[in-house]
Amino acid sequence: MNDDDFSRASHAHGKFYGELLKLRKGEIQSPPDLVIYPRSEDDIIRILEVCNKNKIAVTPFGGNSSVTRGVETPKGGISLDLTKHFNKVLEINTINSTVTVQSGMYGPAFEDYLNNFGEGFTCGHFPQSFEYSTVGGWVAAKGAGQASTGYGKIEHMVLSLKVITPSGVIETKTYPASAQGWDLYPIFIGSEGTLGVITQVTMKIHKHRPENTKYASFIFKNFESAVVAMRTAMQDGIGLPHLFRISDPEETEIAFKTKNFEGTLTDKFLNTLGYKSGNRCLMFVAVDGNKAYVNQVIKSIKNNNKKHKAFFIGASPTKKWLEQRYSSAYLRDPLMDLGIMTDTLETAVMWENLIPLWSAVRKYLKAREKTVAMVHISHVYENGANLYFTFLSPMKKDDEINDYLLFHKGLVDTIHENKGSLSHHHGIGKTMAPWMEKELGSESMKLMQAIKNHLDPNGIMNPGNTLGLKP
């Protein structure tokens, strides 16, 4: 355990933009009183017993990549860091294609272990935070990775859990499916540390066949036709690509500019063919798995996109995008140095509402002077998709925090008013909590609160309005 200032400060915040602005001003208002690195589940049981008896706040802590104020400690107490000792693969069952892993294991270590086990496996979960996130964090925040269209979000991967709560230990059994009343383990997927401490996760794994993966890239004349092509591919039964992504016109043009594509002979040729700057959109596709399946899905997507007047531009753009997949996030801090606000927000939306939502949010973002607004679709379903908004805008000097929070609130309101979810994969944390009752309804919130009250009667687990839940 540690009680030094650095340990406490480094466990007092995540990566929400408002938190980072405060850190730059030297503001850490309520750090935990103590950081504890439990060595065993018995340690956690004992810690929760003591904290529950004395009403001491406990905040589970993993890779610290939360962008929703999910690890803030407004009540002080204990930050329970699982990364030091709960970081091992416990079992791989090749017959069942499952792995049981401790919750504090980081994504790269987990994937490397699976890749090198036996014939080679993959977890299939690659969020942008992959380098600095843990298995437990993926589950607690209900996350999604870049290949989720094929492999699913984390809730589609988990088969069972072990969770230590203030009221006792809950360990669900592993089945491919069951009809035994309510499935209990999904209650903890997306619970964000408000119900207990996730210590073990049993999840699906897949054969790792990178040599079979195929890539394809396309340009569409506009966002609307790209969306129709994407929807058609998901609804026509041609099989699922793993990476399936569209950049809207502004994001596409910024990509072309940063890659020095603008003004080249190829660029001029595409403009001549009708794929004009300011309207055209990029689509990236990658398919994993069995060679015959991969070939069939890629061929079907090419045929489908051709019907929607897409121009096939080969595999290289998709491969190049994947090479910088994780590094683009590191631009945020240098931009902050320049006084440029840069943040992201994402939502899930049904197909019929996607274009109206995209238009409304872009209108809101662009109403702010000198704002860059990039949008993409990166997680796709038969019935809808996500929209992921990235914006850059000059901040008001000496009033950066209020400026950001007011702009962020308007953005969330605009998404919600246009039939988008509060989150698709970032989670709720404390940032989105004020909108939860409006989104879910009072009876749903009462049900969530009742579960919270049973498992955490003294309200010690990640308190401070996380998920909109009260102590």
pLDDT band at 267 (very low <50, low <70, confident <90, very high): confident
b/e sequence 263-277, b meaning 16+ C-beta within 10 Å:
eeeeeeebeeeebeb
State both tokens at 58: 């406990």
Residue 285 lies in a domain: yes
Residue 466 lies in a domain: no
| pLDDT tens figures, 206-254 | 999 999 999 999 999 999 999 999 999 999 999 999 999 999 999 999 9
287 and 302 within one domain: yes
296 and 230 within one domain: yes
| pLDDT tens figures, 118-130 | 999 999 999 999 9
Question: Which of 161, 177, 207 corresponds to the end of one domain?
Answer: 207
Total domains present in the chain: 4
What is the CATH classification number for the domain harbouring 386? 3.30.300.330
Per the structure, the complete domain to which residue 263 belongs is given by 211-325
d(CA 78, CA 461): 10
Question: What is the structure's pLDDT at 442?
Answer: 97
By C-alpha distance, which of 60, 87, 92 is closest to 73?
60
Question: What is the structure's pLDDT at 264?
Answer: 87
Question: Which of 417, 432, 463 corresponds to the end of one domain?
Answer: 417
Quote helix, strand, coil % in the chain, to nearest 5: 40, 20, 40
CA angle, residues 123, 128, 131, in degrees to nearest 5 = 70
What is the CATH classification number for the domain harbouring 42? 3.30.43.10
Q: Is the pLDDT of residue 330 over 90?
A: no
Question: What is the structure's pLDDT at 88?
Answer: 98
Question: What is the structure's pLDDT at 388?
Answer: 97
Residue 41 lies in a domain: yes
165 and 146 within one domain: yes
Q: Which residues pair with 393 in a beta bridge?
A: 341
What is the CATH classification number for the domain harbouring 257? 3.40.462.40
75 and 140 within one domain: no
d(CA 157, CA 201): 10
377 and 401 within one domain: yes
Q: What is the DSSP string of 264-316?
A: SHHHHHHHHTT--TTT-EEEEEEE-S-HHHHHHHHHHHHHHHHHTT-EEEESH
Residue 245 lies in a domain: yes
71 and 159 within one domain: no
> What stretch of H or E contains 201?
strand 197-204
182 and 133 within one domain: yes
Residue whose pair of structure tokens reads 């798995």 in the numeric block: 289
d(CA 22, CA 12): 12
Residue 63 lies in a domain: yes
215 and 203 within one domain: no
Residue 331 lies in a domain: no
Question: What is the structure's pLDDT at 332?
Answer: 87
356 and 284 within one domain: no
Rg (C-alpha) for the chain, rounded Å, is 23
Residue 24 lies in a domain: yes
Q: Is the pLDDT of residue 259 over 90?
A: no
Residue 52 lies in a domain: yes
Question: Which of 325, 347, 382 corresponds to the end of one domain?
Answer: 325
Amino acid at 275: Y
60 and 25 within one domain: yes
Given a contact cutoff of 8 angstroms between Cβ atoms, the answer to whether 110 and 87 are in contact is no
Q: Is the pLDDT of residue 320 over 90?
A: yes
By C-alpha distance, which of 424, 409, 427 is closest to 68?
427
pLDDT band at 326 (very low <50, low <70, confident <90, very high): confident
What is the CATH classification number for the domain harbouring 95? 3.30.465.10
Q: What is the mean pLDDT of residues 52-72?
A: 96
| pLDDT tens figures, 20-48 | 999 998 999 899 999 999 999 999 999 99
Q: Is the pLDDT of residue 429 over 90?
A: yes
102 and 149 within one domain: yes
45 and 144 within one domain: no
